[in-house]
Amino acid sequence: MHKTFFTALLAAGISTAATAQKPAANTPKTYSAAGRRVQLYTTASGTQQRLATGAALSFQPVGQPLETQPTVFVDPTHTFQTLLGIGGALTDASAETFAKLPKAQQQELLQAYFSPTNGIGYTLARTNIASCDFSSGSYTYVQDNDKDLNTFSVKHDEQFRVPFIRQAIQAAGGKLPLYVSPWSPPAWMKDNNNLLQGGHLRPEFRQAWANHYVKFIQAYEKLGIPVWGLTVQNEPMAKQRWESCIFTAEEERDFVKGFLGPTLKKSGLADRKLIGWDHNRDLMFQRASTLFDDPEASQYYWGLGYHWYETWTGSAMQFDNLRRVHETYPSKNLVFTEGCVENFKLDNVQDWALGERYGNSLINDLNAGTVAWTDWNVLLDETGGPNHVGNFCYAPVIGDTRSGKLIYTNMYYYIGHFSKFIRPGARRVAVASSRDVLQATAFLNTDGKVAVVVMNSTEKEQPFQLWIKGQAAQTTSQPHSIMTMVVQ
């Protein structure tokens, strides 16, 4: 069925130019929807619709809507942040699973993720510096006690990960902004002498650790993999069974302003985007205030990264914390750096709630000011791994290494409703819904097309109108569905 989906896309001549990397045009002073057409793309539970093309809609003059008329209002003359990209993580686990697939399925996967015409057009990627939980085992790039990093080598990565990333870049048209994140310094640099179980970076190794980021970036770039940015530390407040390292807000601030920031600058890497925090939304305001209220540290930070796992406490996703950071530090960029659904079960890969979690996060994160959004592993095997501590999770695509087949979950399609139609350089525009059933976001692309994403996570069908400055187009949101409406 998935090949049929690709064939349909090609037949429809859908194109969201991969070259749309140029800065967005200025906010339009006026905008009229009169005479414009709206193309619909829908993914809906209980149907065969997966990014399915629907009948085009037309606008008609409609004045003041009544309270009884469910409406999604869009105003392209009010614009906000510019989107940099949407993508996923190219981890060891993804690369190792990819290597076990037949060549035909490898090519299908690359097209499915990175082609803007035959797939969902990912334009951003993340990878790990040394091992993480989604590696087959723990490893480092330097020998013990080599503080001068003379033994530094990324040879481990050249077996699976480097070839995989290279192919992803090629499939994306030769350009795929990549940022990199460490899970832990080498054990001998830490006060617990362990890659795992948290611990802190020893003060005497702060310079050596700063040099380590530079060595990694330089090694990858020598292998033909440009590095766009980096985060300071993955999940710096989590003591985990896997690779982890604790940085309090003050420790991160002082490490960046005293060591990492100056070292990047001295090494000619000052233009690489440095991202702080890289952990959950719950504590992000406190981290932002500590990092950004210190001018000496703040000068090195491009933005703040965050994950969605604050839900482990029983909390809902805390989107208001994003808004607090964005309104307090509007010059800093917000980046969603990781999210996945945990506790993998192969029998549940078609659970519809998986995709709805993604849709809910994407809509609210983008509406709160986020400029880039990165899923976790792009590919995992039939166990939800490989993972060396048994922390198995879901991925949008599962590669069954027993049969060689690819399993597309609805997460893949839900992400695609954003990544395929909201392209780099697009600017978020004002959107408001008169019904909470209809969650929505909207962007003005550089080609002048407006992409409106509307999600309905209820059991209820909801007719509504898309209303733009006195013109409206009528449609219906199906139960448990997501739709992208492209105003031509």
Q: Which pLDDT tens digit goes with each residue over 34-76?
A: 999 999 999 999 999 999 999 999 999 999 999 999 999 999 9
What integer pLDDT is reported at residue 1 of this predicted model?
46
Instruction: Say which residues have a Cβ less than 8 Å from residue 45's Cβ, sequence separation at least 6.
Output: 352, 410, 478, 479, 480, 481
Element (H, E) at 42: strand 37-44
Residue 12 lies in a domain: no
Residue 22 lies in a domain: no
List, in sequence order, the alpha helices (H) in 46-160.
92-99, 103-114
Q: Same structural domain for residues 201 and 318?
A: yes
Q: Same structural domain for residues 67 and 108?
A: no
User: What span, in angstroms and rounded, lies between the C-alpha atoms of 196 and 55?
Assistant: 53
CB 80 within 8 A of CB 333: no
CB 346 within 8 A of CB 382: yes
Q: pLDDT tens digits, residue range 380-428?
A: 999 999 999 999 999 999 999 999 999 999 999 999 999 999 999 999 9
For residue 266, what are the domain limits? 85-424
The letter for the amino acid at 220 is Y
Q: Same structural domain for residues 333 and 232?
A: yes
Strands of the 379-381 sheet, one edge to the other: 379-381, 397-400, 405-408
Last-in-domain residue among 424, 448, 478: 424
* CATH assignment of the domain containing 228: 3.20.20.80
* CATH assignment of the domain containing 75: 2.60.40.1180
What integer pLDDT is reported at residue 151 of this predicted model?
98
Residue 468 lies in a domain: yes
Residue 54 lies in a domain: yes
CB 380 within 8 A of CB 395: yes
Last-in-domain residue among 407, 424, 441: 424
List, in sequence order, the alpha helices (H) in 311-440.
319-328, 352-367, 410-419
Residue 168 lies in a domain: yes
Q: Same structural domain for residues 471 and 384?
A: no
Give me the number of domains the chain comprises: 2
CB 339 within 8 A of CB 126: no
Last-in-domain residue among 408, 424, 440: 424
At residue 362's C-alpha, the angle toward residues 306 and 327, to 5°, is 60
What integer pLDDT is reported at residue 27 of this predicted model?
85
Token representation of residue 279: 């952990």
Q: Same structural domain for residues 409 and 442?
A: no
Q: Same structural domain for residues 51 and 192?
A: no
- DSSP state, residue 393: B
Extract the residue ranges of the chain whose pLDDT is less than 70: 1-26
Q: Same structural domain for residues 336 and 469?
A: no
Token representation of residue 277: 């925090």
User: What span, in angstroms and rounded, lies between the C-alpha atoms of 29 and 94?
Assistant: 45
**Please, is 144 exposed, middle or buried when counting C-beta atoms within 10 Å of its C-beta (0-12, 13-18, 19+)?**
exposed
Residue tagged 């008609």 (tokens): 60
> Where in the sequence numbering do the catalytic residues fall?
235, 338
The letter for the amino acid at 476 is T
User: Closest by alpha carbon to 223, among 136, 315, 159?
Assistant: 159
Q: Same structural domain for residues 313 and 293?
A: yes
Q: Same structural domain for residues 76 and 91?
A: no
What integer pLDDT is reported at residue 17 of this predicted model?
35
Q: Same structural domain for residues 252 and 362?
A: yes
User: What span, in angstroms and rounded, lies between the C-alpha atoms of 427 and 82?
Assistant: 4
Q: Same structural domain for residues 229 and 288?
A: yes
